Amino acid sequence: MSYVELNNIGKSFDRVEVLKKINLSIKKDEFCVLIGPSGCGKSTLLRIIAGLESPSSGSLSLNNKDVTELRPRDRNIAMVFQNYALYPHLTVRGNMEFGLKLDKTPKAKINDLVNEAAAILKLEPYLTRYPKQLSGGQRQRVAMGRAIVRNPSLFLFDEPLSNLDAKLRTKMRTEIKSLHFRLKSTTVYVTHDQIEAMTMADKIVVMNEGEIIQVGTPLELFDNPKNLFVASFLGSPEINLFEGTVKKSSDGYLLKLGGTSDLNLPQDLNFNEDQKIIVGIRPQSLKVSSKSTKLKSVVNIIENTGTSTFIFSTVGSSNVCSEVDRNLNFKVGDDIFLSAEPNKMLIFNPETGERLINEI
C-alpha cells in the first residue's frame, strides 16, 4: 500500500517551471532515493513533501491523508539537512530535545527518548557539547538523532552526506541504512551521488529537468535503463557509448564505428541497414584481450584502485573504459582488443536517447 502519494505535483518559481506534473507513490517502510543532476528539482520535491514549499499544482497525501495544505509541524515528518542545520546555541541534548519540548512532551519521556537515540547513534559522550565542538560526522549523527527522537512517520534526507569526506561518507551510508533497517521507517532520500542511490535505495527515482525519468529498484535501473540519461547517470565509471551505423555482413549485423573498428551486434535482433544507433556497454561488460577482435584500441591510462583496475582507451573519437582483472598485464601504449557479450549491450536511438529494445 502506498504511504506517500504525489499526484501531479507541479512547482514554478515566477516563470521557471521547476517541477512538471510529478506522480510518485512510495510504500510504507520503503527507502526511496530521488536522484538527478543539480537543478533537476529533487530538493524542491523533497521540500514540498516536507511542507517547506507549497506546490503550485497537484496534491500530496501521507498515509492516505491529504496534507497538501498542512504545515510541516502537522505532517509528522523529520528532516535531515545537507548542512546539518543544528541549532548552534543549543547543546547536542538541546538540539535533540527541541522538537519534543515544542510538542510539550513530558520531561521524563524526553530524557528517555534522547538517551535512547543517543545510545543508538553513539552520541552519549557528546550530549553536553555544542555543535561547533563536534566533527562533521558527529554533527550529522546529531541531525539524525534530532530526527529519530520524534518518531516521525516519514524521514526526509536532503543530501545529508555531501559535506563529509569520502571515507566518512561510506561509513555514514551504512549507518543510515542500518538505522533504516532498525527503525523500519519510510524514507525519502535526495542525493546526486549514484553510489549512494545504488547502495541504499529500495527504490530509485531518477529525475531530470523537473520530471521523473524512471522509477525502479537499483538493479532494474542499472540493467534496464529507459534511456541514455538514466544509463549514463547510474554506474561508475560511466557507461561506454559507441555511436555508429548498422551494416549487415556475413557474420550478421555490425556496428560501423568509423575507421576500421566494428562492433558485433546481437544477432537475435532485427536492425535496418544504415540505421544509426548508440550502443551502451558498461565498463564491467567491456572485455579486454590481446586476442584479435574487430574493435581495436590503444591503452591510454590504467587506473588501479586496489579493488578494481580500469583501462581507458580510445575508439574512434570517443574514450572508453573497461574494468579488467588486475592480474592482466597491460601497459600504456599496448594494443588491445575489445568485445562484449551481445546480451550486455544496451541499444539507444541517437536522436531521442530512448532505448530501442527494452529487453534484450
Partner 1 sequence: MYSLKQNKLLLLGLCLPATLIVAIFIIFPIANGVYMSFTDASPLRPTSKFVGFENYRYLFADDVYWQVLGNTIFIIGFATILAMLISVCLALLLNNTIRFSGLYRSLIFQTWVVPWIVIAILWGWIFNTDYGLVNGTLAQYGLIESQIDWLFNGKYAQWAIILCFAWRSIPFLMVIMLAALQGVPGEVLDAAEVDGAKYWQKTFKVTLPLIQNISLAAALMQAVRMFQEMTLPFVLTEGGPMNATMVLSMYSYNLAFDSWDFALAATVGSLWLVMLVLFGAIYLKTVVREM
* Residue with smaller CB distance to partner 1, 176 or 320: 176
Q: How far apart are CA 335 and CA 351, in angstroms?
A: 32
Check if the beta carbon of residue 72 is closer than 8 Å to that of residue 243. Answer: no
Q: How far is the CB of 149 from partner 1 (least distance, A)?
A: 10
As measured in angstroms, the least distance from the Cβ of 138 to partner 1 is 17
Q: Binding pattern to partner 1, positions 115-144, x when CB under 8 A?
A: ---------------x-x------------
Which one of 2, 59, 98, 129 is in contact with partner 1 (CB under 8 A)?
Answer: 98
**Cα–Cα dist 180/89, whole Å:** 29
SS3 content of the chain, % helix, strand, coil (to 5): 25, 35, 40
For the chain, what is the largest distance between any 2 Cα atoms, rounded to a whole number of angstroms?
81
Looking at 5-13, 44-52, 201-209, 340-348, which segment touches partner 1 (CB under 8 A)? 44-52
DSSP helix/strand/coil, 80: strand
Q: Which of 93, 141, 146, 282 binds partner 1 (CB under 8 A)?
A: 146
Report the C-alpha gap between 177 and 200 in whole angstroms. 6
| C-alpha to C-alpha distance for 335 and 318, rounded to whole angstroms | 16
Map the footprint of partner 1 across residues 305-344, applying CB under 8 A: none
Cβ proximity to partner 1, 79 vs 207, nearer residue: 79
Stretch touching partner 1 by CB under 8 A, among 7-15, 43-51, 175-183, 207-215:
43-51
Smallest gap from Cβ 91 to partner 1, in A, equals 11
Rg (CA), the chain: 25
How far apart, in whole angstroms, are the C-alpha atoms of residue 308 and residue 28? 37
**Site stretch for partner 1 (CB under 8 A), options 5-13, 45-53, 162-170, 249-257:** 45-53
Tell me the closest approach of the beta carbon of residue 73 to partner 1, in angstroms: 4
Q: How far is the CB of 102 from partner 1 (least distance, A)?
A: 4
Interaction between residue 153 and partner 1 (CB under 8 A) = no
Query: Mask 54-93, x = binds partner 1 (CB under 8 A)?
Result: -----------------xxx---xxx-xxx-xxxxx----
| Rounded Cα gap, residues 276 and 256, in angstroms | 10
Q: Residue 196 Cβ, how far from partner 1 at the closest point, in Å? A: 20
What is the C-alpha separation between 333 and 330, in angstroms, rounded? 9
Burial of 106 (0-12, 13-18, 19+ CB in 10 A): exposed
Is position 46 an interface residue for partner 1 (rule: CB under 8 A)?
Answer: no
In terms of CB distance, is 47 or 180 closer to partner 1?
A: 47
Residue 103 lies near partner 1 (rule: CB under 8 A): yes
Secondary structure (3-state) at 97: helix
Beta carbons within 10 angstroms of residue 219's beta carbon: 10
Cell of 149: 527522537
Closest to partner 1 by CB, 102 or 298: 102
Which residue, 88 or 259, has its beta carbon nearer to partner 1?
Answer: 88
Q: Work out whether strand 31-35 and strand 203-208 pair parallel, antiparallel, or are unpaired.
A: parallel
Binding site for partner 1 (CB under 8 A): 47, 50-52, 71-73, 77-79, 81-83, 85-89, 98-99, 102-103, 130, 132, 146, 150
